[in-house]
Structure 1
Amino acid sequence: MNYRIPPRVAMFNSFAGYGRCSTTEAVPILSAMRVQACPVPTAVYSNHTGFPSYYCHDFTGQLPDYLSQWERLGLAFDGIYVGLLGQKEQIPVVADFIRQQRQRGCPLVLIDPIMGDHGNTYRPVSPEYCEEIKELVRLADIITPNITEACLLTGVRYKDNGWRQEELVDICEKLHAFGPDKIAVTGLQRRSPQGYYDSFINFVSQRRPESGSLETTSTVTRTAGPSRHGTGDIFAAIVAGDAVRGEDFVASVEKAASFISLCIHASDELGIPESDGICFENFLDALIPRDES
């Protein structure tokens, strides 16, 4: 028998019926990684907000009843993954759930502090939300902000490119001060000698448990096509799936970046519109753990 009981992850994220993002990406990815995904919808969208129009049903009022039923069942989780929360009022509800699960021995909390990209916040995100999310980050073991979100969390001025290593180390030191031991800052780009962006970079920082000192590294992946919606959700889902399985953090970041690059390239070749996200469905087999394939 070359399989085992899948680790169980509670996953807070929005649900978009069309556009390949959030829950509709994370569930199949975690399942392929042999992880049981247990979604908690924070909002239901007809399609993601990158389209000209969309329908949204906020789930803030339903969250307490939804989670209280899990409490009645006595559910315990091996990990918690938090993505987009619909409203700032959801943050204390999620924080209470995390604390309850910590008391039951939950060893891992990954928070993807989704707020914006390319220097701007997303449409549903308010300045008050950006402030409140900082308190939630204090409960995380791992965070996966893009560079825009890292700047929003730390108060550092955003710039499109030209980040020096010492600047990124300073940002990560500020992020570690919130509490997380492992950080992956995504959304960084590198220019080629010809002047165009040819690679995307993830800056990884880990706090050593013995000394508290920081260990940093960068992973570089060749750019395979234009930026697309949903890549951050795929990245966070892969890192969360590996984390609950005890995989190395840097190796997990590299795996997520390579998988996204592969999917972007395929999406470009297939002519899939950028608003439709990345065609990941054809490559889920690449995420199956080798010892359980």
Structure 2
Amino acid sequence: MHRDKQQKKVLAVHDISCIGRCSLTVALPILSVASIETAIIPTSILSTHTGGFSGFTFRDLTDDILPVIDHWQSLSLKFDSIYTGYLGSIKQLDIISTLFSRLKQADTLIFVDPVMGDHGKLYTNFSADFPSKMAKLCKHADIIKPNMTEAFLMLDEPYIEGPYTKDYIESIVKRLAQLGPKLVILTGVYLTGNENQIGVAAYQQQSDNIIYRFADKIDGVYHGTGDIFASTLLAALLNNQPLGEAISIAIAFTVNSIKRTKAAQTDVRYGVNFEAGLAELGLLLQTKD
């Protein structure tokens, strides 16, 4: 069982998609099953996520964020980590930068998932200057977790389809580290000569070390898997798992969620079945002191 005397506490700053498992509806249960107390700031509320659905409702909660922070400061709250995902506008990026400055303490881990694109394209609701603004937000982060598309966008380079050489991936993660984070977790990596696998390159700036972890590719597009991976990775790190093991746990949990969904042949617009693996994940993440 979990033997930490004090629960870790995370602030998760994401949107709420009421249907379609992603963002807060993924982050909250994964962090909670890992015995992590999770506070939330919703950035917006949507009736469904935007992948594959039309006619969805959208309510922007930008104007509510600073009043929440004001109230929390009066309570002298402390967070072990602040974890950001989808941020819907440049104004929200500016507000989250303010949130970091007001709520971060010396030992607060800042984890930024720079959600803004996939498959080589910036999401259509973002302006052309959004990636450069996101890159500036990443200077406040300890950890960033871009996919390949987001990496190219923040580096202001044309998207190049893989497979990639290790030397090229090394150049990408090192340039991302120059934005400011101590740790870069690059997802969607697949290498020349190993095209049937896809995974992660993790670069630690202090040690100048890169860790690779891979799994077999699964055909298809599965919504919310980036949020599942990021939330599981953060949960594992906060439960004192070594970096390489934390990445392996996050990959395995994400892949197994996809496999369950693929086997059941359910509509992928509604996300993947991560719920069936939560009990096992909880037990796994409660074993480290």
Equivalences for residues 265-284 of structure 1 within 5 A = 265-284=259-278
What is the total number of aligned residue pairs between the two structures? 284
Distance between the aligned counterparts of 1:236 and 1:284, measured in 2?
A: 15
Shift of 1:3: 4.0
Structure 1, 15-24 or 170-179: larger mean CA deviation: 170-179
Q: In the alignment, which of 97, 100, 103 is matched to residue 99 of structure 2?
A: 97
Distance between the aligned counterparts of 1:238 and 1:217, measured in 2?
A: 17
Distance between the aligned counterparts of 1:64 and 1:120, measured in 2?
A: 31
Distance between the aligned counterparts of 1:190 and 1:258, measured in 2?
A: 19
Q: Cα gap change, 1:290/1:225 in structure 2, threshold over 3 Å: closer, same or farther?
A: farther
Alignment correspondent of 1:21: 22
Equivalences for residues 139-288 of structure 1 within 5 A = 139-189=140-190, 198-208=196-206, 213-288=207-282
- TM-score w.r.t. the length of structure 2 is 0.92
Contact in 2 for aligned 1:10/1:38 (Cα 8 Å): yes
**Does 2:120 match 1:116?**
no
Q: Secondary structure at the match of 2:14?
A: strand
Q: Secondary structure at the match of 1:89?
A: helix
Q: Cα gap change, 1:192/1:205 in structure 2, threshold over 3 Å: closer, same or farther?
A: closer
Alignment correspondent of 1:67: 69
Contact in 1 for aligned 2:117/2:150 (Cα 8 Å): yes
Alignment correspondent of 1:32: 33
Shift of 1:167: 1.1
Q: In the alignment, which of 257, 281, 291 is matched to residue 287 of structure 2?
A: 291
Shift of 1:131: 1.7
Q: Secondary structure at the match of 1:63?
A: helix
Once the two structures are superposed, what CA deviation does each residue of 1:67-98 show, in whole Å capped at 9, x if it has no partner? 21111211110111010112110112211221
Shift of 1:223: 2.3
Which amino acid counterpart does residue 162 of structure 1 have in structure 2?
A: P
Which amino acid counterpart does residue 174 of structure 1 have in structure 2?
A: R
Shift of 1:166: 1.1
**Does 2:75 match 1:81?**
no
Distance between the aligned counterparts of 1:2 and 1:82, measured in 2?
A: 26
Q: Cα gap change, 1:192/1:54 in structure 2, threshold over 3 Å: closer, same or farther?
A: farther
Unaligned runs of 5+ in 1: none
Contact in 2 for aligned 1:223/1:261 (Cα 8 Å): no
Shift of 1:153: 0.9
Which amino acid counterpart does residue 161 of structure 1 have in structure 2?
A: G
Once the two structures are superposed, what CA deviation does each residue of 1:40-70 show, in whole Å capped at 9, x if it has no partner? 1111111001112311101111111122111
**Aligned CA-pair RMSD:** 1.9
Unaligned runs of 5+ in 2: none
Q: Secondary structure at the match of 2:140?
A: coil
Q: Secondary structure at the match of 1:100?
A: helix
Q: In the alignment, which of 32, 53, 56 is matched to residue 55 of structure 2?
A: 53
Distance between the aligned counterparts of 2:151 and 2:220, measured in 1?
A: 22
Distance between the aligned counterparts of 2:62 and 2:171, measured in 1?
A: 35
Contact in 1 for aligned 2:186/2:200 (Cα 8 Å): yes
Shift of 1:286: 2.4
Q: Cα gap change, 1:192/1:227 in structure 2, threshold over 3 Å: closer, same or farther?
A: farther
Distance between the aligned counterparts of 2:147 and 2:2, measured in 1?
A: 36
